[in-house]
Amino acid sequence: MMRKTMTALAGLAMASAMALSGCSGPAAGDSDTFTVAAFTAGYGTPVGKSTVDAFVQKGKERGWDVRLYTSEFDYDKINTDVTGAITQGVDAIFAGFPDPRQIAPLANAAKAADIPIFSIDGGVEPNDDFVVDATTNQQQIADLTVGSLEKAMGSLKGKNVMVIGHDPHVGIMTRSHMAEDLLKSAGANIAGGEIKQILNPGTSQEEALKFVTDYLQANPDGLDGVWVGFDHAALGAVQALNEAGRQDTPVTGVDAVGIALAEIKKNGPFYATVVQDWPLVLNLVMDDMTAYEKTGAKPAKNFIETDVTLVDRTNVNDIKPTD
């Protein structure tokens, strides 16, 4: 941390205390303020922005100096910016929805400087790059959404279901492949033979619209349902089905953003989505960071999965948008 050592004697006393306690606390530096480098490459997504903005606000309320670094999925920029912040001196790093496969430079720099990384949604399994990563249960998401499609269609056996994912995001990739496995196990056919891949979340609605429109043009009666890994892409599938007069073909999404909830209320193709409780996830990470700030103690567990909630026509009026 960037804490001022008032005298050599105080510094020796602090080092002795830490040695006795077995804890490695925030490092010495030039300020009494707890300094955090926060980053996300997904700031252009509604959930990413709202969650990271909430972290910045909560950090400021605690008196922290939070320095935010963002990009539109440009991890070269993120690695450069955060590595620079580490060189300048920070006490901790907050990772918002990082792709663990693309942050090796900053993770290595943080490890070399003994600066802990506290992460939200940084993967689907424990990762030693993070002192804690809190996320949502991907298997539960897949189970609930596939189950919802089955309920809407009466059965999955012999049905043609399109699966739309986005493999650059580890969580979406994981739940998409889980959903694919569940659908196949239940006897469904994957429309087009494989998962359709969104290339850019920023154009996901347009991309999904084209996937479904093109498929229906080639197979007018060959689509029974659409499983989508996140709501904005699901909205594109819904648009395509509405334009084709296929309001009875169910679509499921994930995230419970406001526009998705509004579509579910219309009793059209958008059948269900899932609430991932990011405020809860954020609070878990904030509590761990606060403990580290005050005591130097790192979290006892470095991976936490939280439960999710299915949203459909039966409870949509009780759900608040997540964006």
Query: Which CATH number belongs to the domain containing residue 50 in this structure?
Result: 3.40.50.2300
My answer on whether 130 and 144 are in the same domain is no
Q: Are strands 308-311 and 270-276 parallel, antiparallel or unpaired?
A: antiparallel
Give the pLDDT of residue 18. Answer: 36
Helices (H), the chain: 8-21, 46-61, 75-88, 104-112, 138-153, 170-185, 204-218, 231-243, 258-265, 278-295
Residues 145 and 116 in one domain: no
Residue with tokens 């969580």: 171
Domain interval for residue 171: 138-277+311-318
Query: Is residue 184 in a domain?
Result: yes
Establish if 2 belongs to a structural domain. no
Task: Report whether pLDDT(17) > 50.
Answer: no
Q: Is residue 68 domain-shared with residue 195, that is, in the same domain?
A: no
Mean pLDDT, rounded, for 114-133: 97
Considering the domain architecture, whether residues 52 and 42 belong to the same structural domain is answered as yes
Q: Is residue 1 part of a domain?
A: no
Q: What is the reported pTM? A: 0.87
**Per-residue pLDDT for 20 more than 50?**
no
Whether residue 169 lies inside any domain: the answer is yes
Instruction: Assess whether 207 and 253 both reside in one domain.
Output: yes
Residues 161 and 104 in one domain: no
Same domain, 169 and 299: no
On whether both 21 and 106 belong to a single domain, the answer is yes
pLDDT at 22 over 60: no
In whole angstroms, what separates CA 280 from the centre of its chain? 13
How many structural domains does the chain have? 2
Chain mean pLDDT for the chain? 91
Q: Same domain for 270 and 221? A: yes
Q: Are residues 290 and 197 located together in one domain of the fold?
A: no
The verdict on residue 132 lying in a domain is yes
Amino acid letter, 104? A
Residue 29 located in a structural domain: yes
17 assigned to some structural domain: yes
The total of other beta-carbon atoms located within 10 Å of residue 43's CB is 18
Cβ atoms 228, 208 nearer than 8 A: yes
| Residue 323 placed within a domain | no
Indicate if 45 and 106 belong to the same structural domain: yes
> How confident is the model at residue 49, as a pLDDT?
92
Q: Does 31 score more than 80 pLDDT?
A: no
* Claim to verify: residue 123 and residue 151 sit in the same structural domain: no
Cβ neighbours of 105 (radius 10 Å)? 15
